[in-house]
């Protein structure tokens, strides 16, 4: 029931051959996702995230900046510090070593969250419709 947050296949950073310049987990002056300290079975100390909570900001070499949001409610279990020193992991291995964060939704909400997700086939159909409407 944990959720691994990654970049979607259709994200502009993965599509347009951009180069990632930096990744910043410092969300505001008082909030850094790197300060997240989790301990124990009940995950004490984990930052609580809403669907619209920013996880990080990614800057590309062309000056574009992308804010990556949690998209689900839950506790922030871990951020991937490896992408700080090797940002290319986000593009080379986006669904494995290039993950952004791990979030643990509330037990009661985890079923409704997973029921609301698209299957791979549904996701591909959405992308196809998006591409055909933009051309």
Instruction: Give 4-32 pLDDT, tens digit per residue.
Output: 999 988 888 887 678 889 999 999 888 88
Q: What is the pLDDT of residue 22?
A: 92
Q: Which residue has the tokens 């070593």?
A: 97
Query: What's the predicted TM-score (pTM) here?
Result: 0.85
Q: Where are the beta strands (DSSP E) in 17-131?
A: 20-24, 26-28, 31-32, 48-49, 54-60, 65-69, 74-79, 101-104
Give pLDDT tens digits for 30-46: 888 988 888 888 788 88
Q: What is the pLDDT of residue 82?
A: 94
Domain locations in the chain? 3-133
Q: What is the pLDDT of residue 45?
A: 83
Domain 3-133 has CATH 3.40.50.970: no
Give pLDDT tens digits for 62-120: 889 999 999 888 999 999 999 999 999 998 898 899 999 999 988 777 778 778 788 88
| Helix residue spans in the chain (DSSP H) | 12-15, 82-85, 89-92, 107-115, 120-134
Here the contacts of 67-71 (C-beta below 8 Å, separation 24 or greater) are 68/5, 68/7, 68/100, 70/5, 70/101, 70/103, 71/5
pLDDT exceeds 70 at position 130:
yes
């Amino acid at each position: 029931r944990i959720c691994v947050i990654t970049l979607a296949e259709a994200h502009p950073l993965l599509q347009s051959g951009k180069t990632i310049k930096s990744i910043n987990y410092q969300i505001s002056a008082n909030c850094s996702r790197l300060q997240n300290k989790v301990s124990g079975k009940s995950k004490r100390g984990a930052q609580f995230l809403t669907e619209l909570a920013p996880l990080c900001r990614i800057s590309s070499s062309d000056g574009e900046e992308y804010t990556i949001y949690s998209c689900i409610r839950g506790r922030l279990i871990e951020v991937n510090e490896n992408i700080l020193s090797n940002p290319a992991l986000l593009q080379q291995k986006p669904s494995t070593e290039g993950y952004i964060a791990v979030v643990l939704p509330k037990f009661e909400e985890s079923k409704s969250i997973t029921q609301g997700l698209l299957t791979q086939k549904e996701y591909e159909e959405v992308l196809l419709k998006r591409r055909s409407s933009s051309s």
